[in-house]
Chain A
Amino acid sequence: MIFEMFQYPFMQRALLVGLFVAICAALVGVSLVLRKNSMIGDGLSHTAFSAFALAAVFGFAPLYFALPIVILASFFVLRLSRNRKIHGDAAIAVLSASSLALGTFAISVTKGVNIDLNSYLFGSILSVSWLDVWLSAGLAAIVVILYFFAYHRIFAITFDEEFARSVGVKTGLYDAIFAAICSVVIVLGMRLLGSLLISSLIIFPTLTAMRCAKTFKGVVAASVIISAVAFVTGLVLSYFCAAPTGATVVLVNLAALILALFVEKIRKG
Chain B
Amino acid sequence: MALLTLKKVRLGYGDNVVINDANFSIESGDFVCIVGTNGSGKSTLVRGILGLIKPQKGEIIYGDGLDRTQIGYLPQETRVDATFPATVEEIVLTGCLGHMKMRPFYCHGEHKHVHESLKKLGIDSLAKKSFVDLSGGQKQKVLLARSLSATRKLLILDEPSNNLDYKSRKSFYAALAKLNREHGLTIIMITHDLDADDLIGNKVLALKEGSVTLEDTQKYLEAYK
- Among residues of B, the one whose C-beta sits closest to the C-beta of A159 is B84
Contact of A214 among B68, B70, B85, B106 (CB under 8 A): B85
Q: Is the CB of A159 within 8 A of B98?
A: no
Q: Contact: B132 with A214, CB < 8 Å?
A: yes
Q: How far is the CB of B81 from chain A (nearest CB, A)?
A: 7
Given the interface pairs A149-B104, A168-B98, the reply to whether A159 lies near B69 with Cβ below 8 Å is: no
Residue of A nearest to B14 (CB): A85
Q: Pick the contact of B105 from A152, A156, A168 — CB < 8 Å? A: A152
Q: Which of A206-222 contact B (CB under 8 A)?
A: 210, 213-219
Residues of chain A from 135 to 191 with CB closer than 8 A to chain B in the complex: 148-153, 155-156, 159-160, 162-169
Known pairs A163-B94, A168-B98, A214-B130 / 20 extra A-B pairs, C-beta < 8 Å: A34-B81, A156-B94, A159-B81, A160-B75, A160-B80, A163-B75, A166-B51, A166-B69, A166-B150, A167-B73, A167-B95, A168-B68, A214-B87, A214-B132, A214-B133, A215-B85, A215-B130, A216-B84, A217-B90, A219-B85
Given the complex, which residues of B lie within 8 Å of A164, measured CB to CB? 94, 97
Chain A interface secondary structure, helix, strand, loop or mixed? helix
Asked whether A167 lies within 8 Å of B79 as measured between CB atoms, the reply is no
Q: How far is the CB of A5 from chain B (nearest CB, A)?
A: 36
Determine whether the beta carbon of B86 is less than 8 Å from that of A155. Answer: yes
Q: Would A156 and B97 count as touching, CB distance under 8 A?
A: yes
Residues of B near A150 (CB, < 8 A) are 104
Q: Are A162 and B52 in contact (CB under 8 A)?
A: yes
CB contact between B97 and one of A84, A168, A213 (< 8 Å): that residue: A168
Known A-B contacts A150-B104, A163-B146, A167-B69; the reply to A210 vs B85 at CB < 8 A is yes
Interface size on A, residues (CB 8 A): 28
What residue in chain A is nearest B101 (Cβ atoms)? A168
Contacting pair B52 A159 (CB below 8 A): no
Query: Quick one: closest B residue to A219, CB to CB?
Result: B85
Q: Contact between A155 and B90 (Cβ–Cβ < 8 Å)?
A: yes
Residue among A151, A167, A168, A218 making CB contact with B85, cutoff 8 Å: A218
12 contacts between A and B (CB under 8 A): A34-B85, A153-B97, A159-B86, A159-B94, A162-B73, A163-B75, A166-B51, A168-B68, A214-B132, A215-B86, A215-B90, A219-B85
From 117 to 150 in chain B, residues with beta carbon under 8 angstroms from any chain A beta carbon are 130, 132-133, 146, 150
A-facing residues in B63-95 (Cβ within 8 Å): 68-71, 73, 75, 79-81, 84-87, 90-91, 93-95
Most buried by A among B90, B93, B97: B97
Q: Across the two chains, which residue of chain B brings its CB closest to A150? A: B104
| B: number of interface residues (CB 8 Å) | 33
With a CB–CB cut-off of 8 A, which chain A residues contact B52?
A: 162, 165-166
How far is the CB of A55 from the nearest CB of chain B, in Å? 38
Q: Is the CB of B130 within 8 A of A152?
A: no
A155 to B51, CA, bound (A): 21
Q: Note all chain B residues with C-beta closer than 8 A to A149.
A: 104
- Bound complex: CA A110 to CA B146 (Å): 59
Is A152 within 8 A of B106, CB to CB? yes
CA distance A219 to B98 in the complex (A): 25
Give the distance in Å from the alpha carbon of A149 to the alpha carbon of B51 in the complex: 26
Determine the distance from Cα of A139 to Cα of B86 in the docked complex, in whole angstroms.
Answer: 27
A18-45 interface with B by 8 A CB criterion: 34
Residues of B within 8 A of A163 (CB): 73, 75, 94, 146
> When the two chains form their complex, are residues A152 and B71 in contact, meaning their CB atoms are under 8 A apart?
no
Assess the A160–B79 pair: CB atoms within 8 A: yes
Taking the complex as formed, is B50 at the interface, i.e. its CB lies under 8 A from any CB of chain A?
Answer: yes
Contact yes or no, B97 A159, CB < 8 A? no
Q: Are B87 and A215 in contact (CB under 8 A)?
A: yes
Q: How far is the CA of A7 from the CA of B39 in the complex (A)?
A: 67
The reply to whether A166 and B94 contact each other, CB–CB distance below 8 Å, is no
Check A152 against B104 for contact (C-beta < 8 Å). yes
Contact B71–A166 (Cβ < 8 Å) = yes
0/1 interface trace, chain B 38-73, chain A, CB 8 Å (1 if under): 000000000000111000000000000000111101
Distance in angstroms from A173 CB to nearest chain B CB is 13
Contacts of A84 on B, CB cut-off 8 Å? 13
Give the complex CA separation of A95 and B71 in angstroms: 39
**B97-118 interface code vs A (CB 8 A; 1 in, 0 out):** 1101000111000000000000
